[in-house]
Structure 1
Amino acid sequence: MAIVNEPTMTASFELSVEISAPLAEVWRSLVDDIALWWPPEFFTSDKSKGILLEAFPGGRLFEDYGEHGGLLWYHVVAIEKESSLLLSGHLLPPFGGPAVTSLRLVLSKSSSGVILTIHDAIFGAVSGYDPVDDWRLLFEGGLKAFVERLKQ
């Protein structure tokens, strides 16, 4: 058996997304309607039946494979209605880890609607890992597109 030691690092990433919609609508879409805007390419398995967010402290953000199967993305650490969502999860080796990730989503009003700021802090084997393009796909291509389409 070979033992490979990965360097342990910390990394922080941030992305802001401007969404032209009322704060309450963006919040509701973020926490209640996640299954409606989560892009299919973000699912980790062809068994995925959907994504679920239990929007309370201790709740889970997870992919549901059915029959009690699935993949846990995050646990909800803190939630402030229409303001912020703090999630903690494990970045497993098939997805770029092993590492621990703390994802904070902050909503703030802007002149044209809402600014969603995504803060991702990662500790572990994260050399070369950069989630910003993935967050852009998820939150611009998924959430923002969904919410702004509702306005039309």
Structure 2
Amino acid sequence: MSTTIAEQEVQVICISRELEIAAPIAIAFEAILEEIGPGGELPDGKPFPMVVEPWPGGRWYRDLGANAGHLWGHVQVIKPPTLLELCGPMFMSFPGVNHVQYRLTPDADGGGTRLSFTHRAMGPLPEPVLKGVGTGWDHGLRRIVEIAERLVSERRGGGK
């Protein structure tokens, strides 16, 4: 038996974004669950469906079928339609701790919503992760806006 001891620096990621969604808060929350769930999509447009169990302790995972897949995390806090927090390994196949928060607040007239997003992570993060993680979240946040605004249009009778 052998043991290897290697020193690795622990890096920290802290990504914060704020954006406006032209949709009521309930629809914006629904759009979050769609994007991180069955409607997920990669930046190149390829579908990336996930399963999110929207209750405390619920799993967030990629189901590849035949009992294969990837656990991304668990629902740490859920208070529909204002708050969703996820914690777990996320996309990391190495030691790492992650916490993601989606906090929604309605605007003054209730017709729109402000989304405050944060992702905090720490671990021995490889350079490609440090450089690319913000781009991935930005894509997902844009998709949340698109999904919410599409849902508003559809529910007003505007179709797709």
Fold match by TM threshold 0.5? yes
The amino acid across from 2:30 in the alignment is R
Residue equivalent to 1:120: 119
Whole-Å Cα distance in 1 between the matches of residues 141 and 22 of structure 2? 13
Say how many residue pairs are matched: 146
The amino acid across from 1:107 in the alignment is L
What is the 5 A alignment of 1:46-65?
A: 50-65=49-64
1:98 and 2:99 are equivalent in the alignment:
no
1:110 and 2:107 are equivalent in the alignment:
yes
1:9 and 2:8 are equivalent in the alignment:
no
Q: Contact 1:49–1:64 (CA<8 Å) still a contact in 2?
A: no
Pick closer, same or farther for the CA change 1:74–1:124 going to 2, 3 Å: same
The structure with the greater share of residues assigned to strand is 1
Per-residue CA deviation, residues 47-94 of structure 1 (Å, 9 max, x unaligned), is: x88311101111011111011111111111111111111111115655
The amino acid across from 2:98 in the alignment is T
Q: Which runs of 5+ in 1 are unaligned?
A: none
Percentage of matched positions with identical amino acids: 23
RMSD of equivalent CA atoms: 2.8
Q: Give the structure-1-normalised TM-score.
A: 0.80
Residue 138 of structure 1 is aligned with which of 122, 132, 140? 140
Deviation at residue 115 of structure 1 after TM alignment: 1.3
Deviation at residue 144 of structure 1 after TM alignment: 1.1
Q: Give the structure-2-normalised TM-score.
A: 0.76
Q: Contact 1:38–1:143 (CA<8 Å) still a contact in 2?
A: no
Pick closer, same or farther for the CA change 1:12–1:120 going to 2, 3 Å: same
Q: Contact 1:100–1:122 (CA<8 Å) still a contact in 2?
A: yes
Whole-Å Cα distance in 1 between the matches of residues 80 and 65 of structure 2? 29
